Structure formats: C-alpha cells, structure tokens
Amino acid sequence: MRIILNYTLTPILCAAMVIMAVVTVVKQQEIDVLRHKLELAEQTSEARKQMVEEVRLLQKAASAPPVRTVTVTAYNPTNNQCDEDPLIAASMRKVRSGTIAVSRDLFNQGWVFGRKVRIEGLGIFEINDLMNKRFTKRIDIFMWDEDQARQFGKKNIKAALLQI
C-alpha cells in the first residue's frame, strides 16, 4: 500500500502542484493586464473630464454677451492727452477719424488693435489706441477738433465688439 502511495499518488500530487503553480502565474498575469487596463481607463476618464470642463468653459466664454456698457469720452492729438508723438497710436499706426482707444482691461479681453466696435448711436469704430492704465471699462473716441471733443463730454453707452 505504501508503495502504491509513493509511486502513484506522489507524482499525481506533484503534477497537481505544478499545474496549480502554472495556473497561479497565468492568473497573476491576467490580473496585471486588467490592472493596466483599469489604469488606462482611469487616465482616459480623467482626460475626458478635463476636456468636458474645457468645452464648458469655452462655451461659457463664447456665449458671454459681447455688448457691455462702457464710459465713452473723446480725445485729441495733443501732448497733454497722448504720449511723446500724439500722431502715432499705441498700435504704431497714425491716428485718424473713425478710430478709438480702449482701456487695458477691455484690450486684455480681446478688444485688440484692428477689431471693430459698434458704439450705440455713434457708429462703428476701429480700435487703434490704448488708454492710460488707470482707466477701466472705457472707450476714447479720436477727434481732431478739441472743442468737439469737449462738447462730446463723458457718456455711459452700450458698445459691442464685432466679429468682422
């Protein structure tokens, strides 16, 4: 009986242990593959969340109304109202009728040189100059005539940045 156990069952048990070891290695490899796939899925999920958030922010920015109420004044090419050369704007182009200067906060929000602005009741103007940094939410219309600029005064008017 002992001989049967030694010569029959022992090899069967050894073979079973080898098979179990192989199965364990294969299962561990499957677990590693699944962990890697899970890690990739989590990274993809995080990237999708970031993309969705970026799209939401872009849609919010795009849907923001381009019309805003600003303080509108007028200026002339005089030394006390401009930099060293009153005939050259901040855009490095010559000043001319039909152009405006905008405050730096508007400039930083996309109201940049060359863009067109519709000012309610006054018409369409081109951004050509910048105002002093102490001003905010403000537009300065260029006028050659100093008396006309003084007469214009200071007004709160709706202005829209045009997409043309």
Looking at the predicted structure, is the pLDDT value of residue 65 above 60? no
pLDDT for position 153: 92
Q: Report in angstroms the alpha-carbon separations of 150 from 26, 57, 89, 145, 147.
A: 88, 42, 20, 9, 5
Q: What are phi and psi of 89, to 5 degrees?
A: -85, 175
Question: Residues 113, 101: contact at Cβ < 8 Å?
Answer: no
Choose between 42 and 80: higher pLDDT: 42
> In this prediction, what percent of the chain has a pLDDT beyond 70?
91
pLDDT digits (tens, 9 = 90+) for 83-123: 677 788 888 898 899 999 999 999 998 899 999 999 999 99
Looking at the predicted structure, is the pLDDT value of residue 164 above 90? no
Question: Residues 124, 164: contact at Cβ < 8 Å?
Answer: no
Determine how β-strand 155-161 pairs with β-strand 67-75. Answer: antiparallel
Please say whether the structural domain 66-161 has been given the CATH code 1.20.1730.10: no
Q: What are phi and psi of 74, to 5 degrees?
A: -130, 155
Domain ranges of the chain: 1-64, 66-161
